[in-house]
């Protein structure tokens, strides 16, 4: 797998190469063709301009202007019975002027007439311009002639000879025929090509240097934060939850950083909660175990201590142990998602009544009352065992954190599609900061007085898992010092045939 750095650099280098290749192609390779097309078009428009002014008195001036401006040679002749009569001539360049010679006019005229009135002749090599009877042309000496005449060293002949065109147009006006001839060099000036080549070479070098530099910088900016994040993630994997991801630069990296920060924080929290749990569990296990073994030893060793009260202490402590172990098992089952819901239809009101009645003994022992209030009997569709566990957990909490009124109210309200169950106490309540956390595993608001109140810190976490499996609404409204209202809703069966009517149950 290639690295980001390599890929980014490769893309950059490719872009730069394509740009350079395009520049070379257009500036050097296709320059001739472009130049030829542009020049040919310009020559044609010059011819049109002359043609439309053929009767103008100032034709000479126009021809002169056109020749000068466009660097072409122009000749206009009139076709008469006796041959050709010169009208206007203007030469701005000496090259190709021999193509305007009198001897050629007849051929030009005939060829143009045979070809819709215009004709374009390409001259590839001026020096070997053989066209019709050109032997008698009083042309300029060709460069070869000059070279031959010159005694001494001449520049090498490697530079290609200029190419040209002769454009002929026959224009009829007032029953008279005019022949317009324009010659133009159609290969770019050699010095221009040389200049362009040198410039291109410099541009290519600059591009390559800058391109490499920018490719390096870009890949560095992209890959460096990724590499850093990777290093830190490795530390995180090794268990260093304090590591923080500060990498920035672009949105994706920032998002990745903040996700990993969140993960690190959560892992850190889980880790410290786990440590706390071990401390809690070992403490919670040790206390009842010490009590059990203490009481058992006492009953063994001291005659007369084998009383029902002492045995009750052992039974209570053993129950507390088993509750703790059950909670731990439940939570681990939920976590492993092995527990699936077993939906059934059941009379939730009857279940609530039974649960509330099971707290009757509390009334005798601690003077605590658990009341039930319901609007009508309803059938619910849910996992009965798990929902009962939720209700028990919530009532146990309400009892554990009960207020001075020593009353817990269990309220059932029927809604359109659901039935809402509330467990209300007027106890210590929960602060806003703690409300968000109480549903977390092992979280206990008052960590210092654990032994004072029976609990494992797992009850609400089990409640949350069950209700989330049911995909239902749940929550708590609580105010510090005033009490709490834990509520949840479960789906209700609509066409239930249960008796209607309000009721209250007091255990
Ligand atoms: P615990 O076994 O400690 O009760 P839970 O998960 O059931 O654990 O509850 C978590 C924490 O939420 C408790 O330690 C307690 O601080 C707070 N809490 C739960 N129910 C109530 C309540 N009815 N009133 C006040 N605080 C409560």
Atom of ligand 1 nearest to the CA of 450: 3
Q: Which residues contact 223 (CB under 8 A, 6 or more apart)?
A: 3, 4, 5, 8
Write down the pLDDT at residue 305.
86
Write down the pLDDT at residue 433.
86
Q: Quickly state the pLDDT bin for 135 (edges 50, 70, 90).
A: very low
Task: Provide mean pLDDT across the span 437-442.
Answer: 77
Atom of ligand 1 nearest to the CA of 458: 6
- Per-residue DSSP letter, 127: G
Q: Which residues contact 392 (CB under 8 A, 6 or more apart)?
A: 355
pLDDT tens profile 220-263: 888 888 889 999 999 999 988 889 999 887 888 999 999 999 99
Whole-number Å distance, alpha carbon 217 to ligand 1 midpoint, is 56
Write down the pLDDT at residue 189.
67
Whole-number Å distance, alpha carbon 405 to ligand 1 midpoint, is 18
Write down the pLDDT at residue 174.
86
356: closest CA among 298, 296, 411, 414?
A: 411
Of the given ranges (282-296, 426-440, 460-474), which has the lowest mean pLDDT? 282-296
Whole-number Å distance, alpha carbon 482 to ligand 1 midpoint, is 15
pTM confidence score:
0.46
Q: Ligand 1: which of 438, 467, 475 to mutate, judged by most atoms within 8 Å of the beta carbon? A: 438
406: closest CA among 359, 363, 439, 449?
A: 363
Whole-number Å distance, alpha carbon 457 to ligand 1 midpoint, is 7
Q: What is the torsion angle, in degrees rounded to the nearest 10, for the CA atoms of residue 375, residue 381, residue 386 and residue 391?
A: -10
Q: Quickly state the pLDDT bin for 458 (edges 50, 70, 90).
A: confident
| Percent of the chain with pLDDT strictly greater than 70 | 83
Write down the pLDDT at residue 139.
42
Query: Where is pLDDT greater, at 278 or 322?
Result: 322
Cα 352 off chain centre by: 52
Task: Provide mean pLDDT across the span 463-472.
Answer: 90
- Per-residue DSSP letter, 28: I
Write down the pLDDT at residue 128.
41
Task: Collect contacts of 65-70 with beta carbons under 8 A, ≥24 apart.
Answer: 66/90, 67/91, 67/92, 68/92, 70/42, 70/43, 70/46, 70/184
- Greatest mean pLDDT among 25-39, 80-94, 374-388, 430-444: 374-388
- Determine which residue's CA is closest to atom 12 belonging to ligand 1: 438
CB under 6 Å to ligand 1: residues? 397-398, 400-401, 425, 427-430, 438, 443-446, 455-461, 484
485 pLDDT more than 90: yes
Whole-number Å distance, alpha carbon 444 to ligand 1 midpoint, is 6
Which residue(s) pair with 184 in the sheet?
Answer: 165
Q: How many CA atoms lie within 13 A of 289 on its CB side?
A: 8
CA atoms of 457 and 26, how far apart (whole Å): 77
Task: Provide mean pLDDT across the span 456-483.
Answer: 88
The chain-wide mean pLDDT, for the chain, equals 83
For strand 176-185 and strand 164-173, is the pairing parallel, antiparallel, or unpaired? antiparallel
H or E element in which residue 35 lies:
helix 31-52
Within 95-142, residue ranges assigned H as helices are 102-114
Write down the pLDDT at residue 162.
66
Atom of ligand 1 nearest to the CA of 455: 2
Burial 205-244 (b: 16+ CB within 10 A, else e): eebeeebeeebeeebeebbebbeebeebbeebeeeebebe
Q: Quickly state the pLDDT bin for 8 (edges 50, 70, 90).
A: confident
Task: Provide mean pLDDT across the span 354-370.
Answer: 84
Write down the pLDDT at residue 65.
93
Cα 15 off chain centre by: 22
Q: Ligand 1: which of 276, 330, 459 to mutate, judged by most atoms within 8 Å of the beta carbon? A: 459
Of the given ranges (32-36, 87-91, 270-274), which has the lowest mean pLDDT? 270-274
Query: Where is pLDDT greater, at 457 or 314?
Result: 314
Helix (H, G, I), strand (E, B) or coil at 88: strand
Atom of ligand 1 nearest to the CA of 446: 16
Write down the pLDDT at residue 24.
85
CA atoms of 261 and 478, how far apart (whole Å): 31
pLDDT tens profile 198-217: 888 898 899 888 888 888 88
H or E element in which residue 11 lies:
helix 4-24
- Determine which residue's CA is closest to atom 8 belonging to ligand 1: 457
Distances (CA, A) of 365 to 130, 177, 362: 132, 134, 5
pLDDT tens profile 382-429: 999 889 989 988 998 999 888 889 999 999 999 999 999 999 999 999
Q: Ligand 1: which of 430, 432, 441, 480 to mutate, judged by most atoms within 8 Å of the beta carbon? A: 430
436 pLDDT more than 60: yes
CA atoms of 183 and 121, how far apart (whole Å): 9
Helix (H, G, I), strand (E, B) or coil at 350: helix
Write down the pLDDT at residue 132.
40
Whole-number Å distance, alpha carbon 397 to ligand 1 midpoint, is 6
Q: Which domains, ranges and CATH numbers included, belong to the chain?
A: 4-128+158-199 (3.30.450.20), 251-333 (1.10.287.130), 341-506 (3.30.565.10)
CA atoms of 124 and 165, how far apart (whole Å): 8
Q: Quickly state the pLDDT bin for 145 (edges 50, 70, 90).
A: low
Which residue(s) pair with 486 in the sheet?
Answer: 423, 476
CA atoms of 222 and 241, how far apart (whole Å): 25
Write down the pLDDT at residue 437.
84
Write down the pLDDT at residue 504.
67
Measured between alpha carbons, how far apart are the two ends of the chain, in Å?
71
- Determine which residue's CA is closest to atom 25 belonging to ligand 1: 429
CA atoms of 190 and 396, how far apart (whole Å): 100
Atom of ligand 1 nearest to the CA of 401: 24
42: closest CA among 69, 24, 63?
A: 69
Write down the pLDDT at residue 374.
94
Atom of ligand 1 nearest to the CA of 443: 10
Q: Quickly state the pLDDT bin for 180 (edges 50, 70, 90).
A: very high
Write down the pLDDT at residue 446.
64
Q: SS3 sequence, 374-420?
A: ECCCCEEEECHHHHHHHHHHHHHHHHHCCCCCCEEEEEEEECCCEEE
Burial 90-109 (b: 16+ CB within 10 A, else e): bbbeebbbbbbbeebbebbb
81 pLDDT more than 50: yes
Within 249-383, residue ranges assigned H as helices are 251-301, 308-335, 348-358, 360-366
Instruction: List the structure tokens of 108.
Output: 């030009």
Q: How many CA atoms lie within 13 A of 418 on its CB side?
A: 14
268: left (phi over 0), alpha (psi -120 to 50) or beta: alpha
Whole-number Å distance, alpha carbon 49 to ligand 1 midpoint, is 100
Phi, psi dihedrals of residue 313, rounded to the nearest 5° = -60, -45
CA atoms of 135 and 221, how far apart (whole Å): 73
Query: Where is pLDDT greater, at 94 or 78?
Result: 78
Q: Ligand 1: which of 397, 400, 455 to mutate, judged by most atoms within 8 Å of the beta carbon? A: 397
Atom of ligand 1 nearest to the CA of 457: 8
Query: For residues 284 and 456, is the Cβ–Cβ distance under 8 A?
Result: yes
Q: Quickly state the pLDDT bin for 336 (edges 50, 70, 90).
A: low
- CA dihedral sign, ordered 57, 61, 65, 66: positive
Instruction: List the structure tokens of 288.
Output: 């009842």
Q: Quickly state the pLDDT bin for 186 (edges 50, 70, 90).
A: confident
């Amino acid at each position: 797998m290639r690295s980001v750095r390599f890929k980014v650099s490769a893309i950059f280098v490719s872009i730069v190469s394509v740009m350079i290749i395009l520049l070379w192609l257009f500036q050097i390779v296709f320059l001739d063709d472009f130049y030829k097309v542009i020049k040919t078009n310009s020559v044609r428009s010059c011819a049109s301009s002359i043609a439309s002014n053929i009767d103008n008195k100032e034709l000479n001036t126009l021809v002169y202007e056109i020749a000068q401006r466009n660097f072409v040679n122009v000749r206009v002749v009139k076709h008469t019975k006796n041959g050709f009569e010169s009208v206007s001539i203007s030469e701005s360049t000496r090259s190709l002027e021999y193509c305007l010679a009198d001897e050629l006019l007849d051929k030009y005229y005939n060829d143009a007439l045979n070809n819709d009135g215009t004709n374009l002749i390409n001259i590839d090599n001026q020096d070997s311009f053989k066209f019709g009877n050109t032997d008698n042309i009083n042309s300029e000496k060709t460069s070869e002639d000059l070279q031959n005449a010159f005694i001494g060293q001449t520049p090498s002949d490697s530079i290609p000879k200029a190419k040209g065109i002769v454009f002929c147009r026959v224009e009829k006006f007032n029953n008279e025929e005019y022949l317009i001839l324009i010659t133009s060099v159609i290969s770019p000036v050699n010095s221009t090509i040389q200049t362009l080549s040198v410039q291109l070479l410099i541009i290519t070098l600059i591009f390559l240097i800058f391109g490499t530099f920018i490719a390096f910088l870009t890949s560095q900016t992209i890959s460096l934060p990724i590499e850093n994040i990777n290093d830190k993630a490795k530390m995180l994997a090794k268990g260093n939850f304090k590591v923080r991801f500060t990498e920035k630069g672009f949105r994706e990296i920032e998002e990745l950083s903040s996700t990993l920060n969140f993960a690190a924080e959560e892992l850190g929290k889980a880790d410290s909660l786990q440590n706390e749990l071990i401390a809690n569990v070992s403490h919670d296990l040790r206390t009842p175990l010490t009590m059990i073994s203490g009481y058992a030893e006492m009953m063994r060793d001291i005659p007369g201590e084998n009383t029902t009260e002492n045995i009750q202490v052992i039974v209570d402590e053993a129950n507390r142990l088993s509750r703790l172990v059950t909670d731990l098992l439940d939570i681990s089952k939920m976590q492993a998602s092995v527990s699936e819901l077993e939906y059934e239809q059941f009379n939730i009101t009857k279940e609530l009544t039974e649960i509330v009645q099971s707290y009757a003994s509390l009334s005798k022992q601690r003077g605590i009352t658990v009341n039930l209030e319901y609007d009508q009997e309803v059938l619910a569709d849910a996992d009965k065992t798990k929902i009962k566990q939720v209700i028990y957990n919530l009532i146990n909490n309400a009892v554990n954190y009960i207020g001075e009124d020593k009353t817990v109210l269990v309220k059932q309200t029927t809604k359109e599609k659901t039935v809402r169950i509330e467990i209300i106490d007027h106890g210590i309540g929960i602060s806003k900061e703690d409300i968000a956390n109480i549903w977390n595993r092992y979280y206990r608001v008052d960590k210092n007085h654990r032994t004072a109140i029976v609990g494992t810190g797992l009850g609400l976490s089990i409640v949350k898992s069950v209700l989330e499996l049911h995909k239902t609404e749940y929550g708590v409204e609580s105010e510090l010092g005033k009490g709490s209202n834990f509520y949840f809703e479960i789906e209700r069966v609509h066409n239930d045939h249960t008796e209607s009517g309000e009721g209250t149950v007091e255990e």
